[in-house]
Amino acid sequence: MRAAVVGTGYVGLVTGVCLSHLGHEVVCVDRDEKKIENLKKGILPIYEPGLQEILEKCAEKERLFFSSSLQSAGGKDFLFIAVGTPSDEIGRADLSQVEAVVEALSRLELVEDLLVVMKSTVPVGTCIWAETFLKEKSRRPERFRVVSCPEFLREGTAVDDFIHPERIVIGAEQEGDARKVQELFAGIETRFVLTDTRSSELIKYASNAFLATKISFINEIAGICERAGADVKEVARGMGLDSRIGEKFLNAGLGYGGSCFPKDTLALIYQAEDLGYDFRILKAVAGVNEGLRKRAVQKLERLLGGNLQGKKIGLWGLSFKPGTDDIREAPSLTLIQKIKARGGEVTAYDPLVKGLSAAGIDGMRYADDPYGAAEGADAVVLVTEWEEFRKADLARVKKAMSGNVFLDGRNVFDPLEMKGLGFVYEGMGRGTGGEMS
């Protein structure tokens, strides 16, 4: 089949390349001409394991193309919308990118039917709005129908998630449309959830909100553990063995970040509000998450004698989670800003992220490895749990530092071992006897 994918970010590019891998002819469209020029040369704008290899194979077989013009969507059977839906200034979903694509689509002179597939995470009712808009504005209203097919991939394992998804959700007002989209994924073994567009849109938000809730819940338990002298890792292990709870997303630490959870939880709070519903749990979830970085900086201050003025901090990890170069809403950003505002100096190391000017943070030092970040530091703070940090030679780290404080923001290390190595070690919720924040 022939498909166009609009937006070549994490979702669009993975979707386009993987659909082509399934045997379809795909054109990936983006308004960013530089990105498209690079993609034509095989240069990826993002890091995603396995993507480069598949892209090269599909391009070689001449079934994967790149274009900066939406005109190239003409003559296709499907058009995926995979553009960004960030938060606006107050936290609602900013739909301007989606609206711009739908507007441009309405001006296409279509000679064949086009099924528009909404991959972007959009508030309930957006697919119905898009279809109504296209029917009202297009000169060929009968050609368009809009279905929802939200994306659940995880950055860092996105290709594998596309090929082995736990489910594919398709929301359509007509079952035939849902079946057509299902056919596109022929060859993928999974469970399909065929439903209406509104439920489909809400499945995406509800899933992210639930996972965020799990994370904030365990972080609240971590707060209790610190006061009670218990270890949240032990508590989570015991809880997670209950199959009704499950062990995933029970890691206490610096909370969730990234391009989805923070914005999707806020967007759902506002959608509820617009519908006259007060989503109290989710408001608390977002509030708890926001407080975690403050809690970490307070710990650091306490561990360093009360203030951070002139203190050298080695920061391990900048991306919002391991396995990706994405720094959107990464805890590292808030921590760095807070440390710098208190007069501390930061030297950071991340295996993939080599600069933060894209996030508006300048005047930072970057090291070439974890030891370089620890060199002369009063404290090391582990922010992102990359494998490289787990394997670090901690005795060498200790030797490189001028101080001995280690704040483990992801509870990666064993408190007793760290103390044995001479660190003043603290994790998040590990009952190490520290004062409470």
Ligand X SMILES: NC(=O)c1ccc[n+]([C@@H]2O[C@H](COP(=O)([O-])OP(=O)(O)OC[C@H]3O[C@@H](n4cnc5c(N)ncnc54)[C@H](O)[C@@H]3O)[C@@H](O)[C@H]2O)c1
Q: Which is nearer to ligand X, 9 or 415 (CB)?
A: 9
Binding mask 339-378 for ligand X (x = CB under 6 A): ----------------------------------------
Q: Among 12, 253, 351, 427, which residue interacts with ligand X (rule: CB under 6 A)? A: 12
Question: Nearer to ligand X by C-beta: 100 or 194?
Answer: 100
The strand pair at 379-382 and 312-316 is best described as: parallel
Q: How far is the CB of 33 from ligand X (least distance, A)?
A: 10
Residue 6 touching ligand X (CB under 6 A):
yes
Among 4, 5, 29, 381, binds ligand X (CB under 6 A): 29
Pick 152 or 371: Cβ nearer ligand X: 152
Question: Among residues 31 and 92, whose Cβ is nearest to ligand X?
Answer: 31
Single out the residue of 127, 153, 315, 356 in contact with ligand X (rule: CB under 6 A): 153
Closest approach, Cβ 260 to ligand X, in A, equals: 5
428 binds ligand X (CB under 6 A): no
Q: Which residues are catalytic?
A: 260
Q: Which residue is nearest to ligand X (CB)?
A: 9
Does 124 help bind ligand X (rule: CB under 6 A)?
A: no
With CB under 6 A as the contact rule, the residue among 23, 32, 140, 414 that binds ligand X is 32
Which residue number, 124 or 405, has a Cβ lying nearer to ligand X? 124
**Closest separation in Å from C-beta 175 to ligand X:** 25
Question: Residue 8, interface with ligand X (CB under 6 A)?
Answer: yes
Q: Compare residues 157 and 404 and give the one whose CB is closer to ligand X.
A: 157
Q: Considering only 28-36, 211-219, 243-251, 280-288, which stretch makes contact with ligand X by CB under 6 A? A: 28-36
Q: Is 120 in the site for ligand X (CB under 6 A)?
A: yes
Is 301 a binding residue for ligand X by CB under 6 A? The answer is no
Taking CB under 6 A as the criterion, which residues in 73-102 touch ligand X?
82-85, 97, 100-101
Residue 39 in the binding site for ligand X (CB under 6 A): no
- Please count the other Cβ atoms lying within 10 Å of the Cβ belonging to residue 287: 10
Q: How far is the CB of 12 from ligand X (least distance, A)?
A: 6
SS (H, E, C) the chain: CEEEEECCCHHHHHHHHHHHHCCCEEEEECCCHHHHHHHHCCCCCCCCCCHHHHHHHHHHCCCEEEECCHHHHCCCCEEEECCCCCECCCCCECCHHHHHHHHHHHCCCCCCCEEEEECCCCCCCHHHHHHHHHHHHCCCHHHEEEEECCCCCCCCCHHHHHHCCCEEEEECCCHHHHHHHHHHCCCCCCEEEEECHHHHHHHHHHHHHHHHHHHHHHHHHHHHHHHHCCCHHHHHHHHHCCCCCCCCCCCCCCCCCCCCHHHHHHHHHHHHHHCCCCCHHHHHHHHHHHHHHHHHHHHHHHHCCCCCCCCEEEEECCCCCCCCCCCCCCHHHHHHHHHHHCCCEEEEECCCCCCCHHHCCCCCEECCCHHHHHCCCCEEEECCCCHHHHCCCHHHHHHHCCCCEEEECCCCCCHHHHHHCCCEEECCCCCCCCCCC
Binding residues vs ligand X (CB under 6 A): 6-12, 29-32, 35, 82-85, 97, 100-101, 120-121, 151, 153, 155, 259-260
